[in-house]
Amino acid sequence: MGRQWGPSMRAAEQAGCVVSASRAEQPEEGLWSCSGVILSRNPVLVLCHGGIFTPFLRGGSGALTAAGATFLPGDSCGDDLRLHVQWGPTAASVAGRKEPGRPGLCTPRC
């Protein structure tokens, strides 16, 4: 991708993550997921899209368009919300944890 993109690629892959939301009592319902950005590392703060939280809003999606609503506190979603964040090795192994000789990507059984 050329030299001009080196720093951006590193920043992007270190900050990139996947966020998934599911219901504690109803895992069979499946999960909602989207992408996200790691904003800080200690503690790990992540910014992601709000669309995956709509099914969990106590007041329904109408709460998002209520007049003057610019933010909703965390407890505006139900207690059965379970969130998980997953990121790649570059984000976690900041210092020297590369396994020499291992390919970056291969065709895992998916």
Partner 1 sequence: AGLEPCKAAQPHGRLLQPPHAAELLLLLSCPAFRAHFARLFGSEAAEQWRFASAAPDEEVSGEEEEDQLRALGWFALLRVRPGAEAEAACGPAVTVAPLGAVAKGAPLLACGSPFGAFCPDIFLNTLSRGVLSNTAGPLLLTDARCLPGTEGGGVFAARPAGALVALVAAPLCWKAREWVGLTLLCAAAPLLRAARDALAHLPDVAALAALLPPEVGTPRGLPLRGPGPPWAAAAVLVEFGSVWGSGVAMAPRLVVTCRHVAPREMAKVLVHSANPKSVAIWGCVVFATQETSPYDIAVVSLEEDLEGVPMPRPAEYFHEGIVASNTRDNNTGATYPHLNFSIPITVLQPALQRYHQTGDLGGLRELDRTTEPVRVVWRLQRPLPAIPRSKL
Contact of 45 with 66, CB cutoff 8 Å: no
By CB under 8 A, tell whether 43 contacts partner 1. yes
What's the closest the beta carbon of residue 59 comes to partner 1, in angstroms? 11
Q: How far is the CB of 58 from partner 1 (least distance, A)?
A: 12
Choosing from 26, 28, 67, 71, the residue that interacts with partner 1 (CB under 8 A) is 71
Answer yes or no whether residue 96 interacts with partner 1 by CB under 8 A: no
Q: How far is the CB of 100 from partner 1 (least distance, A)?
A: 13
Check residue 23 for interaction with partner 1 (CB under 8 A).
no
Binding of residue 78 to partner 1 (CB under 8 A): no
**Which residues share a beta bridge with 65?**
none
Report residue 35 as tokens: 């992408």
Tokens describing residue 63: 């709460």
Distance CA 41, CA 37 (A): 11
CB of 102 to partner 1, least distance (A): 8
DSSP string, 3-28: GGGHHHHHHHHHHEEEEEEEESS-GG
